[in-house]
């Protein structure tokens, strides 16, 4: 059974015709021939192993495979892991078989994708780990790498996190700047609701308990507690009494995350999952 033409998000799938991204990435890396590989090889084949050089969570194996297939349909990739699986230093995650010069062509690009996505998944998993036993879920943000949002959001999912709104169209988030448009929060929420109809949720961002109370009295669905102290968060959870969905946000670090989760909020969004991750150290051995 061949693969479908979309990749998986939500532990499930998201259509991103990644093919286009892969093609562009390959052209970016080789606009006018491989000056080293092309003169040296014809159709000689080899097998190359994808080796982990540190521990982590893998994400992006289908992108890795599709990159080689785009270069040369004859290359085959056998994977020992599935996206979301943990791996140990020294483990072989996959074996790539095919023409040497095709593997040399795809190698760097395939790794550039896989190392980044696995970096996101690994970082996410460590945040998720810190919140175990609480009702809080870890969410990503829109602070993603331009053009790679779908890949990074999938990696967050593979790491055990949840995906916050994919884009501006999916959720109406009212921040400070939005609220200046109206006499008060309630009016702003109502104006948005009338405009967008009943399909889409509305979230209001607050920074103080006073603002939180005002938001509570509107028909919004979610309230974001932005940069609040742990004490204030607890107060909000208490005042809320389960009425609205509560999201904590603002420079979340691994150190602080378990305490935030313990306040009783439902969602914690972490910008660094997608903007300041470290690429995993993975390499291809011929």
Catalytic, out of 142, 143, 191, 193: 143
Distance, first Cα to last Cα, the chain: 28
Residue 150 in the binding site for its own copies (CB under 8 A):
yes
Say whether residue 145 binds its own copies (CB under 8 A). yes
Binding-site string for its own copies from residue 113 to residue 132, where x marks contact by CB under 8 A and - marks none: x-xx--x-------------
Query: By the 8 A CB rule, do 224 and 249 touch?
Result: yes
From candidates 49, 97, 129, 165, binder to its own copies by CB under 8 A: 165
Q: Please name which of 149, 105, 132, 111 lies closest in space to residue 16, comparing C-alpha atoms.
A: 149
Is-catalytic flag, 88?
no
Residues within window 19-58 making contact with its own copies, judged by CB under 8 A: 21-44, 46
72 sits in the region (left: phi over 0; alpha: psi -120 to 50; else beta) called: beta
Residues 212-241 that bind its own copies (CB under 8 A): 222
Pairing type for strands 267-269 and 86-87 reads unpaired
**How far is C-alpha 272 from the chain's CA centre?**
10
CA distance linking residue 66 with residue 25, whole number of Å: 12
Query: Contact, 174 vs 145, CB < 8 A?
Result: no
Q: Is 226 a catalytic residue?
A: yes
Tokens representing 97? 């078989």
Q: Which of 175, 191, 201, 234 is catalytic?
A: 175
Size of the site for its own copies (CB under 8 A): 115
Q: Does 12 bind its own copies (CB under 8 A)?
A: yes
Phi, psi angles (nearest 5°) of residue 115: -65, -40
Q: Can you tell me whether residue 98 is helix, strand or coil?
A: strand
Q: Would residue 108 show up in a list of annotated catalytic residues for this protein?
A: yes
Considering the complex, what minimum distance in angstroms separates the CB of residue 107 from its own copies?
9
The catalytically annotated residue of 14, 140, 205, 266 is 205
DSSP code at position 3: P
* Sites for its own copies among residues 170-189 (CB under 8 A): 170-178, 180-182, 188
Catalytic one of 108, 142, 186, 278: 108
Told to judge if 193 belongs to the known catalytic residues of this protein, a careful annotator would answer no
Minimum CB distance to its own copies smaller for 132 or for 231 = 132
- Contact call for residue 71 and its own copies (CB under 8 A): yes
State yes or no: residue 286 binds its own copies (CB under 8 A).
Answer: yes
Catalytic residue list contains 53: no
Q: Show which residues are catalytic.
A: 108, 143, 175, 205, 226
């Amino acid at each position: 059974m061949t693969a479908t033409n979309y990749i998986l998000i939500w532990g499930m799938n998201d259509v991103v015709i990644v093919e286009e991204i892969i093609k562009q990435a390959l052209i970016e890396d080789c606009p006018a021939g491989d000056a080293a590989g092309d003169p040296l090889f014809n159709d000689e084949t080899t097998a190359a192993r994808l080796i982990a050089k540190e521990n982590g969570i893998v994400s992006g194996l289908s992108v890795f495979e599709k990159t080689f297939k785009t270069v040369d349909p004859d290359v085959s990739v056998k994977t020992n892991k599935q996206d979301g699986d943990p791996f140990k230093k020294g483990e072989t995650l996959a074996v790539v078989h095919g023409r040497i010069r095709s593997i040399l062509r795809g190698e760097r690009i395939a790794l550039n994708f896989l190392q980044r996505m696995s970096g996101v998944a690994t970082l996410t998993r460590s945040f998720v780990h810190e919140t175990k036993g609480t009702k809080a879920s870890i969410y990503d943000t829109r602070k993603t790498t331009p053009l790679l949002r779908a890949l990074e959001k999938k990696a967050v999912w593979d790491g055990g996190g949840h995906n916050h709104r994919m884009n501006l169209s999916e959720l109406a988030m009212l921040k400070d700047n939005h609220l200046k448009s109206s006499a008060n929060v309630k009016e702003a929420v109502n104006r948005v609701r009338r405009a967008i109809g009943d399909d889409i949720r509305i979230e209001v961002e607050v920074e103080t308990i006073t603002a939180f109370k005002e938001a509570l009295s509107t028909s919004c669905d979610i309230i974001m507690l932005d940069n609040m102290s742990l004490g204030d968060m607890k107060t909000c959870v208490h005042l809320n009494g389960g009425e609205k969905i509560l999201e904590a946000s603002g420079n979340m670090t691994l150190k602080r995350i378990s305490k935030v989760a313990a306040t009783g909020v439902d969602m914690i969004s972490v910008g660094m999952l997608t903007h300041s991750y470290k690429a995993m150290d993975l390499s291809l051995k011929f």
